[in-house]
């Protein structure tokens, strides 16, 4: 692969709130580029992207889907991500492997929680972006209001680059402001007379925005009051690639209105891999930190951002090449695990299908089958002179259900199949409750977990049962306990065991985690044995003394100790640490913390009163209520424990017309009465087991 080839690569994710039209837009782009023979539609199940049966049935994207196509000398990879918060973690992992984002928002109700969450995720990664205001053909569509809402997004400098022709049911297409042409689904034409002034004003606003984003151009603009077409075009490219400008297009995706200009903008304005900042990586030979550019001649590095279970090809790993060029049938190294692997065929992904390619270079996104130990997030590299890119962080969920096989005989198959699903979706986690020994399936929300169980049945023909979700309570202290002794003294036969530590325990702010501070002076505990005290403390913190939940937001200071030159060893100090920690926590007014969720509930206005009452009944705090589109949106903070089966409650309160999403916000102390009940339950459970 050559540098000229790298310049032709584009990759981007479609991001936004559920139902705002990402998949419809992706289908329109693919069709406009000639990548699909007919226009796929979400509504009749003909979408190439939403290809899971569950997606066709629910008409929502449940996992990100990848499609690579060629268009006008470019190789473009589009990733359609799910808007529902239950599945957006997986979409965020994909963002880390791509060069740009296209934010899709609704012309009717503008920026919603899902738009905002994914926008923030793309901003954290510094991704250049375009925005597409979709649904211009719908009643109450309003571009100006939506632009206003976009300008409130963190770090966004929106500037409209298309002007709508007609409105609502009469929406025909758009004027591409910079080219000065009207673009309708049946072709291009002159700007309608009635829109001349609006188009000219839009061009002025683009020039102004471009000038403001560029120090060199602002001077000229202030002097001459305008910029040349070439300056505007160039300024727009550099403004977008540097993340300083957000060009906003508009249209109606299923009708292919406004979508052709978006395809042009993707090729013209979004960055090629070579336009992105270098990524730091750790050299595997030597130990230096490298800055890796998208150089096809450099050693191969890549990130695995997705794992797909394919019915025919088995498990596929999708990776994005950052540097170097890799051939099919070549040896590589998993830089994360140190395991050597052999790549078989390299494939470009086209929805549910794949086509072979001989090689892949910077910016290319390809799939390979059956790698031994490669997981989503891992870094791959060349066998020689390799480097390790920072792995992609995996967002995890907080809602756990106990899960077991419906039929006892299926147990092995259920858990091995679940293992594969978890490999495919790393935001799901299968673990064991240490207190009860039950298997727990942890995910982002109820729907996330239920869809996984549904897929288990469809893909592997086995049925699993879920039981009431577990709330991930935490323990902490609200007081201080000073100088609490932790002691182990044993004399059995010859050699004894001896270790004493004195611990002070104090609260830390919420979310601060767990800290151990070594304040031993004068060798009261020998240096080499202090880590053993810490180990004992950390292990004891896994199951707090109150109800067996992990202890968080606590600082443990080891301030003094005693040792014996013969009888002291690591084991003795570890036990002393653990004994001391438990005693200190019990003296420092231990309490329980519970997860609080940010919930956003959209309902018809006649249900608002009922919903608010219900939220208060769930110990929730309503924070705002505002009209959006045809519905009322209530934002509230509610304890997770009260929201476990909210989906069905909402359905009955609103006759099925409500929608909600929620995500973890923070931990708060559990009210005293409830705490007593949770502690009593935990103690009863423990008593039952022993
Ligand atoms: N009238 C109109 N309907 C649209 C438009 N875009 C999408 N739709 C419809 O809105 C619904 C949702 O569209 P999708 O493309 O599935 O939305 P999405 O953003 O992919 O949703 P998720 O996959 O859940 O995140 C479908 O019924 C589409 O036909 C539009 O521009 N105008
Ligand atoms: Mg979709």
d(CA 550, CA 541): 6
Q: What is the pLDDT of residues 188-220, one digit of tens each?
A: 999 999 999 999 999 999 999 999 998 889 999
Cα 544 to ligand 2 centre (Å): 43
Does the beta carbon of 18 lie inside 6 Å of ligand 1?
A: yes
Task: Give me the pLDDT at residue 113, please.
Answer: 77
C-alpha span between 488 and 506 (Å, rounded): 23
Strands 621-628 and 659-669: unpaired
Maximum C-alpha span of the chain? 103
Residue 202 phi/psi, 5-degree rounding, is: -65, -40
Q: Which of 327-341, 421-435, 582-596 has the lowest mean pLDDT?
A: 421-435
Distance, CA of 649 to CA of 652 (rounded, Å): 5
| C-alpha span between 443 and 430 (Å, rounded) | 9
User: What is the pLDDT at residue 397?
Assistant: 77
Note the ligand closest to the C-alpha atom of 259: 1
CB of 82 sitting under 6 A from ligand 1: yes
User: Which of 17, 42, 59, 136 is the pocket-test mutation for ligand 1 (most atoms within 8 Å of CB)?
Assistant: 42
Q: How confident is the model at residue 572 (pLDDT cuts 50, 70, 90)?
A: very high
Residues 69 and 545: their CA atoms lie apart, in Å, by: 57
pLDDT above 70: percentage of residues in the chain:
99
**Ligand 1 atom closest to 134 (CA):** 31
Q: What are the tens digits of pLDDT across the range 437-450?
A: 789 999 888 889 99
* Sequence-distant (≥ 6) Cβ neighbours of residue 7 within 8 angstroms: 272, 274
Output the residue whose Cα is nearest ligand 1's atom 3. 135
Helix H or strand E segment including 576:
helix 570-587
Over residues 75-108, the pLDDT tens digits come to 999 999 999 888 989 999 999 999 999 999 999 9
Mutate to test the pocket of ligand 1, among 24, 81, 108 (most ligand atoms within 8 A of CB): 24
Atom of ligand 1 nearest to the CA of 251: 31
Q: Residue 65 Cα, ligand 2 centroid: separation in angstroms?
A: 9
Region 649-669: mean pLDDT is: 84
Q: Which pLDDT score is estimated for 470?
A: 77
- Span of 403-407, 473-477, 595-599, 686-690 with lowest mean pLDDT: 686-690
How high is the pLDDT of residue 28?
98
Give the number of the atom of ligand 1 that is nearest the alpha carbon of residue 16.
19
User: Which residue is closest in CA terms to ligand 1's atom 30?
Assistant: 135
Query: Residue 656's closest CA among 614, 616, 602?
Result: 602
Q: Which ligand is nearest to the CA of 132?
A: 1
pLDDT category of residue 248 using cuts at 50, 70 and 90: very high
Rg for the chain, CA atoms, rounded:
29
CA atoms of 79 and 29, how far apart (whole Å): 12
Q: What separation in Å is there between the alpha carbon of 458 and the centre of ligand 1?
A: 26
Ligand 1 nearest atom to the CA of residue 252, by list position: 31
**Helix, strand or coil, per DSSP, at residue 284:** coil
Which pLDDT score, from 0 to 100, does residue 65 have? 98
Quote the CA–CA distance of 196 and 308 in Å, as a whole number.
Answer: 49
Q: Is the CB of 629 under 6 A from ligand 1?
A: no
Which residue is closest in CA terms to ligand 1's atom 23? 61
> Which atom from ligand 1 is nearest to the alpha carbon of 17?
25
**Rounded average pLDDT over 480-500:** 90
Nearest to 657 by CA among 597, 614, 599, 606: 606
In whole angstroms, give the CA distance from residue 106 to residue 116: 12
Which ligand is in closest contact with the Cα of 41?
1
- DSSP per-residue codes, 539-561: HHHHS-TTTSPPB-SEEEEEEEE
**595-631 b/e (C-beta count within 10 Å ≥ 16 → b):** bbbbbbbbbeeebbeebbebbeebbbebeebeebbeb
Least reliable range by pLDDT among 39-43, 491-495, 580-584, 637-641: 491-495
Q: Which two tokens stand for residue 330?
A: 């070549």
Q: Whose CA is nearest to atom 5 of ligand 1?
A: 135
* Out of 252-261, 476-485, 491-500, 662-671, least confident range: 491-500
The number of the ligand 1 atom at minimal distance from the alpha carbon of 136 is: 31
Please give the C-alpha separations between residue 573 and each of 36, 485, 498, 588, 631, in angstroms, as whole numbers.
67, 12, 8, 22, 61
Query: So what's the pLDDT on residue 435?
Result: 57
What is the rounded CA–CA span in Å between residue 345 and residue 356?
7
Residue 436, pLDDT > 70, answer no
Which atom of ligand 1 is nearest the CA belonging to 50? 23
User: From the CB of 578, is ligand 1 less than 6 Å away?
Assistant: no
- Name residues whose C-beta falls within 8 Å of residue 410's C-beta, 6 or more positions apart in sequence: 462, 463
Sorting pLDDT into bands at 50, 70 and 90, what band is 461?
Answer: very high
Cα 50 to middle of ligand 2, angstroms: 7
Confirm or reject: Cβ of 19 under 6 Å from ligand 1. Answer: yes
Q: Output the residue whose Cα is nearest ligand 1's atom 14.
A: 21
Which range in 153-167, 398-412, 673-687 is most confidently predicted, on average pLDDT? 153-167
SS3 167: coil
- Taking the CA of residue 114 as reference, the ligand 1 atom at the shortest distance is 25
Q: For residue 635, give the 3-state DSSP assignment.
A: strand
Whole-number mean pLDDT of the chain? 93
- Name the closest-CA residue to atom 27, ligand 1: 43
Residue 566: predicted pLDDT = 87
**Residue pair 686/435 in contact by the 8 Å Cβ criterion:** yes
Q: Is 164 in the pocket of ligand 1 (CB under 6 A)?
A: no
**Burial of residue 436 (number of CB atoms within 10 Å: 0-12, 13-18, 19+):** middle
What's the length of the chain? 690
Question: Which structure tokens are listed for 342?
Answer: 């052999």
How many separate helices (H) and strands (E) can be counted in the chain? 17, 37
Measure the CA–CA gap between 312 and 292, rounded to whole angstroms. 36
In the predicted model, is pLDDT for residue 327 greater than 70?
yes
412/149 Cα distance (integer angstroms): 51
Mean pLDDT across 642-656: 83
pLDDT (average), residues 144-165: 94
Q: Which two three-digit tokens encode residue 323?
A: 């540097």
107 burial via Cβ count (<10 Å: 0-12, 13-18, 19+): buried
Query: What pLDDT was estimated at residue 683?
Result: 85
The pLDDT of residue 684 is: 87
Dist CA 441 CA 399 (whole Å): 8
- Average pLDDT value for residue range 224-238: 92
Closest CA to 416 of 405, 400, 432, 406: 405
> Rounded to the nearest 10 degrees, what angle do helices 229-241 and 196-212 cross at?
60
pTM of the predicted protein model:
0.81
Per-residue pLDDT of 177-190, as tens digits, reads 999 999 999 999 99
- Does the beta carbon of 316 lie inside 6 Å of ligand 1? no
pLDDT at residue 658, as a whole number: 78
User: Is residue 61 within 8 Å of 50, Cβ to Cβ?
Assistant: yes
- Residue 649, pLDDT score: 86
Q: For residue 21, report the distance from its CA to the centre of ligand 1, in Å.
A: 3
Residue 66 CA, ligand 1 centroid: distance in Å: 18
Among 233-247, 250-264, 536-550, 647-661, the range scoring the smallest mean pLDDT is: 647-661
């Amino acid at each position: 692969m050559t540098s000229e080839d790298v310049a032709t690569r584009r990759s981007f994710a479609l991001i936004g709130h559920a139902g705002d039209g990402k998949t419809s837009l992706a289908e329109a782009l693919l069709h406009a580029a000639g990548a699909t023979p007919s226009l796929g539609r979400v509504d009749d199940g003909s979408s190439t992207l939403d290809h899971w049966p569950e997606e066709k049935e629910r008409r929502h994207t449940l996992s990100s889907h990848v499609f690579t196509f060629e268009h006008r000398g470019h190789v473009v990879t589009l990733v359609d991500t799910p808007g529902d918060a239950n599945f957006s973690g997986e979409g965020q992992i994909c963002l880390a492997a791509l060069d740009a984002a296209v934010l899709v928002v609704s012309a009717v109700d503008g920026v919603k929680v899902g738009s905002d969450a994914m926008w923030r995720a793309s901003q954290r990664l510094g991704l250049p972006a375009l925005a597409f205001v979709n649904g211009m053909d719908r009643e109450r569509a309003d571009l100006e209001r939506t632009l206003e809402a976009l300008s409130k997004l963190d770090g966004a400098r929106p500037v409209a680059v298309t002007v709508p022709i007609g409105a609502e049911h009469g929406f025909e297409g758009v004027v591409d402001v910079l080219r000065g042409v009207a673009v309708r689904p049946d072709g291009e034409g002159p700007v309608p007379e009635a829109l001349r002034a609006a188009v000219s004003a839009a061009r002025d606003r683009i020039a102004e925005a471009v000038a403001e984003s560029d120090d060199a151009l602002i001077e000229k603009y202030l002097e001459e009051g305008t910029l040349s077409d070439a300056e505007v075009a160039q300024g727009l490219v550099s403004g977008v690639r540097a993340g300083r400008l957000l060009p906003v297009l508009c249209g109606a995706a299923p009708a292919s209105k406004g979508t052709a200009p978006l395809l042009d903008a993707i090729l013209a304005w979004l960055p090629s891999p070579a336009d992105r900042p270098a990524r730091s990586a750790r050299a595997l030979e030597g130990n230096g930190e490298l800055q890796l550019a998208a150089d096809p001649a450099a050693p191969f590095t890549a990130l695995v951002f997705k794992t797909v279970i394919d019915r025919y090809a088995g498990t596929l790993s999708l990776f994005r090449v950052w540097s170097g060029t890799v051939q099919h049938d070549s040896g590589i190294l998993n830089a994360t695990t140190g395991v050597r692997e052999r790549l078989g065929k390299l494939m470009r992904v086209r929805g549910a299908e794949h086509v072979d390619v001989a090689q892949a270079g910077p910016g290319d996104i390809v799939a390979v089958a059956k790698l031994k130990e490669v997981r989503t997030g891992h870094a791959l590299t060349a066998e020689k002179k390799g480097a390790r890119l920072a792995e992609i962080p995996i967002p995890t969920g907080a809602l756990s259900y106990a899960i077991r096989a419906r039929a006892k005989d299926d147990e092995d198959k259920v858990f091995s199949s679940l293992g594969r699903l978890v490999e495919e979706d790393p935001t799901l986690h299968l673990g064991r409750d240490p207190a009860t020994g039950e298997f727990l399936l942890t995910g982002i929300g109820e729907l996330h977990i239920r869809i996984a169980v549904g897929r288990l049945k469809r893909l592997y023909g086995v049925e699993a049962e879920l039981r009431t979700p577990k709330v991930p309570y935490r323990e902490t202290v609200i007081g201080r306990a000073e100088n609490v002794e932790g002691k182990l003294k044993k004399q059995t036969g010859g050699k004894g065991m001896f270790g004493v530590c004195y611990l002070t325990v104090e609260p830390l702010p919420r979310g601060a985690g767990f800290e151990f501070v070594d304040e031993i002076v004068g060798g009261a505990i020998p240096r080499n044995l202090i880590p053993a005290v810490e180990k004992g403390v950390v292990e004891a913190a896994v199951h707090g003394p109150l109800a067996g939940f992990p202890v968080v937001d606590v600082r443990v200071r080891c301030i003094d100790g005693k040792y014996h030159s013969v009888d002291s060893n690591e084991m003795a100090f570890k036990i002393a640490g653990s004994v001391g920690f438990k005693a200190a926590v019990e003296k420092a007014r231990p309490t329980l913390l519970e997860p609080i969720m940010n919930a956003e509930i959209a309902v018809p206005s006649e249900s608002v009163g009922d919903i608010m009452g219900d939220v208060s009944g769930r110990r929730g705090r309503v924070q705002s209520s505002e009209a959006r589109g045809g519905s009322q949106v209530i934002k509230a903070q509610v304890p997770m424990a009260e929201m476990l089966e909210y989906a069905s409650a909402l359905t009955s309160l609103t006759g099925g017309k409500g929608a909600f999403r929620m995500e973890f916000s923070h931990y708060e102390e559990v009210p005293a009465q409830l705490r007593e009940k949770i502690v009593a339950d935990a103690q009863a459970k423990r008593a039952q087991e022993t």
